[in-house]
Amino acid sequence: MTTFSVYSNAKNLFNVSSSSKTLRALHGMKVFSINWVILGHTYIYVNFQAFRNLERTADFRSDFAFQVICNGFLSVDTFFFLSGFLVMYTTMESVKKTNGRFSVPIFLLHRYIRLTPTFMIVTASVLLLPLLGSGPVWHDVLDEQVDMCKKWWWKNVAFVNNFIGRIDQTCLHHTWYLCCDMQLFVLSLLVIIPLVKNKTVIGIFMNIAFVLASALSLALVTHFKQLPPSALFVNPDLRQQEQFARNVYFLPYTHLGPFAIGLLLGYAYWKHPQVKFSNNVKILGWLLAVTFGMASVYGVYSWNNGAEQHRPAVVLYAATHRIAWTLGVAWVTIVCITGQGGIVNKILSWKCLIPLSRITLEVYFIHPLFQWVYMAALHDRIDANHYTFLYMYLGHLLIVYVVAVVCCLAFDTPFYRLEKMLLTGKFKKNEESSKL
């Protein structure tokens, strides 16, 4: 049995020829998005006691380019879009190969087993962090994280840590994404089942209803709870920040729109994989994609610089910017996977990105742990400037990817292969190619 063979698993991990050539652009999108996530967390997961000249950070908000970091929360909506796209496309391909057979229990069990073992191993590893070093702020940084995982680890097992309790009652804050993704995965059955049963109108109607419900929910919650349009860099009210996280950012309805757009595009691509666009359509598509992307990322610039938040504009931005961002990403996706993306497709489809994209789950799981340990181990203050954050980011990036490869080979891939054996009764040697 080669299930736990490091050699066999590494061979599959670094095999770039087995990946679907038509969907290779998705690998690049995942890698660039997870790197964007880590960059944002480099600025967020810090102990402010560790910095000299902290007042300089107040000037960051006036830097137009810094809005990419201020509003880096959009990076996760790219992942929700890709999740919806792959769930729909791979499910419809599987149903086609099995002559229309679709098992809801297997569909759900596969997802749970696929995520839970590595999720629990990373959760348990938090308890070992206090053994890794020491420092003046070691306990201030790490003790709270360890205590929360001792008390609230069971929320991770049940994938409900984004729903139950306050932020200070959550083991590994960043894993809200996994819980939210699992909840949207379950909700996707309301779209997938009608499409599998050839009730296309019902399936598409449900999908569009999801997008509209997401936008309407965001508008109503933002308005009635008087929340900001996004997690603004300038906002000093910690209670409002927590309220925004718990009532908006961590909940599935916020990201239902991007996920549903992914579902719809996945189905459209499955039905029409050879679609071609005229030059005029491609020009218009790229103009809209760039416009939507720029407006979504930089639309908070004036608010981050203290401009008055007029409620109609705040509500409109809150309700639409994630959907607008995702529509831009959807355009890039469809032109690239149909071979019409030009240089963008060549960059995103670069074969060296394929192995890196296969470990993005592990990278997401573990990167905050290394950022916390770095902050906790500091014995002297460091300057608060972009150069410092850049060095921290590049160091975290290198270390996290190396450790993520080890975690993938030691835990994730073996559990994946066992799960395939458990659910299918046999293991196909090249099955790993389906793991985008």
| Residue 399: partners with Cβ closer than 8 Å, 6 or more residues away | 370
Distance (Å, whole) CA 260 – CA 209: 9
Give residue-wise pLDDT tens across range 85-96: 999 999 999 998
Give residue-wise pLDDT tens across range 249-288: 999 999 999 999 999 999 999 999 989 999 999 999 999 9
Distance (Å, whole) CA 159 – CA 119: 10
Q: Percent of the chain beyond pLDDT 90?
A: 55
User: Averaging pLDDT over each range in 66-70, 132-136, 154-158, which range is the top one?
Assistant: 154-158
Residue 52 phi/psi, 5-degree rounding, is: -90, 155
Q: Is residue 38's pLDDT more than 90?
A: yes
| Residue 130: partners with Cβ closer than 8 Å, 6 or more residues away | 138, 139, 142, 143, 146
- Mean of the pLDDT values across residues 307-335? 93
Distance (Å, whole) CA 173 – CA 161: 8
Of 41, 144, 142, 126, nearest in space to 378 by CA:
142
Of 167, 121, 171, nearest in space to 146 by CA:
171
Give residue-wise pLDDT tens across range 101-146: 898 998 998 899 888 888 999 999 998 888 888 888 888 888 888 9
Q: Is residue 411's pLDDT more than 60?
A: yes
CB atoms within 10 A of CB 220: 12
Q: Which residues of 139-162 are buried (b: 16+ CB within 10 A; e: fewer)?
A: eebbeebbebbeebbebbeebebb
Q: Percent of the chain beyond pLDDT 70?
A: 94
Per-residue pLDDT band at 319 (split at 50, 70, 90) = very high
Q: What is the pLDDT of residue 233?
A: 64
Q: Is residue 179's pLDDT more than 50?
A: yes
Instruction: Average the pLDDT over each of 208-222, 344-358, 404-418 and give the range with the smallest value.
Output: 404-418
Q: What is the pLDDT of residue 235?
A: 59
Residue 212 phi/psi, 5-degree rounding, is: -65, -40
CB atoms within 10 A of CB 339: 14
CB 36 within 8 A of CB 356: no
How far is C-alpha 75 from the chain's CA centre? 7
What does DSSP assign to residue 368? Answer: H
Instruction: Average the pLDDT over each of 158-167, 261-270, 339-348 and give the range with the smallest value.
Output: 158-167
